[in-house]
């Protein structure tokens, strides 16, 4: 590395999306309904009554979107496969039209020199499987492995980077504990069970890939470093619980072959120790780790806040995003170095990093989003600083390419570096997209030019 090429040779510069958030046409060409289709069509669960029925219309506009990626100079595109497009009932019969969409998308990306990174599961479980218990059913690990095998056989000749699950913590905390996300359950006892079955599913998919695939597979976890609000023992203990619940609950089983001991105290009667054979399957070696980073949490003890008995403390005088998340670039460096030190320096991709801000209306074909530009610049600087401190960082993916359906927030939160007009579906690259294009062209040097 040098001043002109501050990131490593071959560093992968990309953006990321997920199927339900951008594709639209969720039931087209024989696709099966997902839990997010059902959740968003249930009155009162999504802000503004929004759904993913149209989203960014990427299902029909993907060729133009890929051309736009090429115009921005992207080297990679991370997207997810909608399970129900491929297997309308979640298992059994394969839908060739649904699978064919992803084959065409991959071919178009490769034609422009853009590497596909494929996520197998980004929260859109087929409703038919949810009706059979979803992630609470121990058979779910096998369902997922079978689905993964179908996609591997279709695409591994062209896809070199695979991700099993995106953010299993969000799946369980939002989907089974708080009910803010699909399938909308609120049950403490279900939460560790769903988490364990997701990890089992990850392990089974890795095993399927070792039998069928020829390249690399990992998982993407959302990590949020935790800092105590004070040096009081209660706050430090609460911080440890919060960190184990969100971060180590998923990383320790995969990379160390064991759950944090703290979980039994966090979940109480809802926790049961898994059999060693389960942990052996979960801990099958992976080729890389995907880290999604957005913010940190400063933590204080809060006996009324289950399951961790800990609460975040707002910080005065700092910038918050439209999601209410503190902008804290140092947290990205801290979490990268923590992962590297704790887990033996695994290869890492930052698979999501970005910010929602209230963008101004387009003027003369431009959208000025200076806060997002600063956010990206400062987080890239923080990530770069870890390269000389033992972190094996191999790529960076902005969340998100497009303003999209932001889950329970509907279309009220805009993460995209490309503006999407909800009425016309017109795409307008924002100032952040132009900045990111400069970063890519300069191999990262543009990050340090201001």
Residues in contact with 186: Cβ distance below 8 Å, sequence separation at least 6, in sequence order: 176, 177, 178, 179
167 is catalytic: yes
Gap between the Cα atoms of 44 and 50, Å rounded: 10
Q: Are 248 and 263 in contact (CB under 8 A)?
A: no
**Rounded alpha-carbon distances, angstroms, from residue 154 to 25, 93, 388, 390, 397:** 22, 15, 39, 36, 24
Q: Which of 23, 190, 224, 352 is catalytic?
A: 352
3-state secondary structure of 319: coil
Q: Are 286 and 217 in contact (CB under 8 A)?
A: yes
Q: Which of 167, 190, 243, 406 is catalytic?
A: 167
Structure tokens at 88: 């309308």
Gap between the Cα atoms of 9 and 1, Å rounded: 8
Gap between the Cα atoms of 147 and 130, Å rounded: 15
**Could you give the angle at the alpha carbon of 106 between the alpha carbons of 101 and 109, nearest 5°?**
125
352 is catalytic: yes
For residue 295, whether the previous peptide bond is cis, meaning omega lies within 30 degrees of 0, is: no
List, in sequence order, the alpha helices (H) in 213-328. 233-243, 249-256, 262-267, 276-282
Active-site amino acid positions: 167, 352
């Amino acid at each position: 590395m040098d001043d002109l090429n501050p990131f490593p040779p071959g560093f992968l510069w990309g953006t990321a999306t997920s199927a339900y958030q951008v594709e639209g046409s969720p039931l087209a060409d024989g696709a099966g309904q997902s839990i997010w289709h059902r959740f968003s069509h249930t009155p009162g669960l999504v802000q503004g009554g929004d759904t993913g029925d149209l989203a960014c219309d990427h299902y029909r506009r993907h060729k133009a979107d890929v051309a736009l990626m090429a115009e921005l100079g992207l080297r990679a595109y991370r997207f997810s496969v909608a399970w129900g497009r491929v297997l309308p009932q979640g298992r059994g019969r394969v839908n060739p039209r649904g699978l064919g969409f992803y084959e065409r998308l991959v071919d178009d990306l490769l034609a422009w020199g853009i590497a596909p990174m494929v996520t197998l599961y980004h929260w859109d479980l087929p409703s038919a499987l949810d009706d059979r218990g979803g992630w609470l059913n121990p058979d779910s690990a096998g369902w997922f492995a079978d689905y993964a095998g179908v996609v591997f056989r279709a695409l591994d000749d062209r896809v070199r980077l695979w991700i099993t699950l995106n953010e299993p913590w969000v799946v369980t905390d939002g989907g089974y504990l708080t009910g803010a996300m699909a399938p909308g359950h609120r049950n403490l006892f279900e939460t560790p069970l769903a988490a364990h079955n997701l990890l089992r599913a990850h392990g089974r998919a890795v095993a399927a890939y070792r039998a069928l695939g020829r390249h690399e597979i990992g998982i993407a976890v959302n990590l949020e470093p935790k800092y105590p609000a004070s040096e009081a023992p209660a706050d430090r203990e609460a911080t440890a619980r919060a960190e184990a619940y969100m971060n180590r609950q998923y990383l320790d089983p995969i990379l160390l072959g064991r759950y944090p001991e703290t979980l039994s105290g966090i979940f109480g009667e809802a926790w049961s120790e898994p059999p060693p054979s389960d942990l052996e399957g979960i801990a099958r070696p992976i080729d890389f780790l995907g880290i999604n980073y957005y913010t940190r949490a400063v933590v204080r003890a809060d006996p009324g806040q289950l399951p961790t008995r800990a609460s975040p403390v707002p910080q005065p005088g700092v910038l918050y995003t439209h999601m209410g998340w503190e902008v804290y670039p140092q947290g990205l460096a801290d979490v990268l170095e923590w992962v590297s030190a704790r887990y033996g320096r695994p290869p890492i991709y930052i698979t999501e990093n970005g910010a929602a801000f209230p963008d101004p209306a387009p003027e003369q074909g431009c959208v000025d989003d200076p806060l997002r530009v600063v956010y990206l610049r400062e987080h890239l600087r923080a990530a770069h600083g870890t390269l000389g401190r033992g972190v094996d960082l191999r790529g960076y993916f902005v969340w998100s390419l497009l303003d999209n359906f932001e889950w329970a927030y509907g279309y009220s939160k805009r993460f995209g570096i490309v503006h999407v007009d909800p009425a016309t579906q017109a795409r307008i690259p924002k100032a952040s997209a132009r900045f990111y294009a400069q970063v890519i062209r300069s191999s990262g040097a543009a990050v340090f030019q201001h």
